[in-house]
Copies of this chain bind each other. A is one copy, B any other.
Amino acid sequence: MQELEIKIKKDGQVLPGDVLKVGSFLNQQLDVDFLMEMGAEIARLFKGDDVTKILTIESSGIAIAVTAAASMHVPVVFAKKHVSSNVSGECYSVPIHSFTHGNTYNATVSKEYLSPEDRVLIVDDFLARGNAIRGLAGMVKDAGASLVGCAIAVEKGFQGAGDALRSEGIRVESLAIIDRMTDDGDIEFRR
């Protein structure tokens, strides 16, 4: 999605440790009009795939998942990273290691929100090492639901997880794929 590549070049900041900061439109501040366009593009990519539910993980995945759902007219379910009194009953639970935060947490979803009849699209803002996506895919499998594919805003292609998932037969559509990123701010996208 060319507009996204332009926006990453214009507003993104490369921080040490392969961190791409896009907080001005995709993370702490959300350019919702632009996110709605990204959501519409995700809906276009998965049109005809009979998606019944979008699965994401709190909290930075929620916004892009909601805008995709607004175009696809399906519900969003988000996995929680922290157990809360609002989650009751039986849950699907998978451990996910976060390189960004340097810890491992249990992502949980109440069993009532994923069922074998569901055709699930996983949506997230970033795909880096793929741990979150693999965790969510594991939940879809545990639920006996069908995984239609994954829609990602920004894939760090140079970290290889997206291509690994694709080689396993999982459909991964990323709106922008970064193949090279240098500490002095140079960003190269996959053509």
Contacts and interface: CB of A to CB of B under 8 A. Distances in A.
A101 B85 contact: yes
B84 A101 contact: yes
Contacts of A52: none
Contact of A19 (B21, B63, B85, B113): B85
Interface in A49-73: 58-60, 62-63, 66-67, 69-70, 73
A32 interface: yes
Interface string A64-101: 00110110011111101010111110000000000011
A3 interface: no
Contact of A32 (B25, B58, B66, B88): B66
Interface string A1-35: 00000000000000101010101110111111101
A77 B32 contact: no
A75 B29 contact: yes
A110 interface: yes
Given A29-B75, A29-B77, A63-B66, 13 more contacts: A15-B85, A23-B86, A25-B75, A28-B77, A30-B69, A30-B77, A32-B74, A58-B58, A58-B59, A62-B63, A70-B70, A84-B100, A86-B100
